Structures are given as structure tokens and as C-alpha cells.
């Protein structure tokens, strides 16, 4: 348990206190309920999902770039030997 000065009034407040008992300012410590790690994970996952969506969209727009359409899989006509 350590005492940290309030960023507003300079009152010594403990780390356990969520806010300053004198002026009511929120402590500089991490606010419970809104961790920054969760927000970063959501942003990273959204960026990854958007990147995957763009990749799939570009891939589906040009199907002949990598995969051959099934209509070209027909075997060539057999030539009868004369
Ligand atoms: Zn204060």
C-alpha cells in the first residue's frame, strides 16, 4: 500500500482508493472495468477480420487467377485414328 499524490489537488491517496477523497478526481491507477488490453485486443481482431474480408473479396473477384473454373475440366475430344 503506497500513497500517491493526487494529479489535481496533490492530496496523498492510497493505491486502493479509486478516487481522491478530497477532490473526487479519479486516481491515476488503472480504472477497474475498462482495461486497455481488452480494447487493444478488440481493435486487433477487428483489423484482422477486415484484412481477411478484403483478401477474400479480392480472391473471389478474380476466380481465374489461382483456381481454374470447373467448365475447363472437360477432356479433349478423342481423335479417331484413321
Ligand atoms: Zn484530489
Q: Does 5 fall in a domain?
A: no
The residue-averaged pLDDT of 48-67 equals 84
CA of 21 to the centre of ligand 1 (A): 7
Residues having C-beta closer than 5 Å to ion ligand 1: 6, 8-9, 11, 20, 22-23, 25
Q: Does 18 fall in a domain?
A: no
Q: Could you identify the residue written with the cell 484484412?
A: 51
pLDDT band at 38 (very low <50, low <70, confident <90, very high): confident
**Number of structural domains found in the chain:** 1
Q: Does 6 fall in a domain?
A: no
For residues 10 and 5, give the distance between their C-alpha atoms in angstroms, rounded to a whole number: 5
**Cell numbers standing for residue 21:** 477523497
Report in angstroms the alpha-carbon separations of 66 from 43, 54, 61, 69, 70: 31, 17, 11, 10, 13
pLDDT above 70: residue 70: no
pLDDT band at 51 (very low <50, low <70, confident <90, very high): very high
Residue 44: give the domain boundaries. 33-62
Amino acid at each position: 500500500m503506497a500513497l500517491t499524490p493526487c494529479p489535481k489537488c496533490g492530496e496523498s491517496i492510497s493505491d486502493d482508493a479509486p478516487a481522491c477523497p478530497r477532490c473526487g478526481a479519479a486516481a491515476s491507477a488503472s480504472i477497474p472495468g475498462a482495461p486497455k488490453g481488452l480494447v487493444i485486443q478488440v481493435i486487433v481482431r477487428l483489423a484482422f477480420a477486415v484484412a481477411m474480408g478484403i483478401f477474400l473479396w479480392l480472391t473471389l473477384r478474380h476466380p481465374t487467377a489461382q483456381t481454374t473454373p470447373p467448365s475447363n475440366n472437360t477432356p479433349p475430344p478423342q481423335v479417331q485414328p484413321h
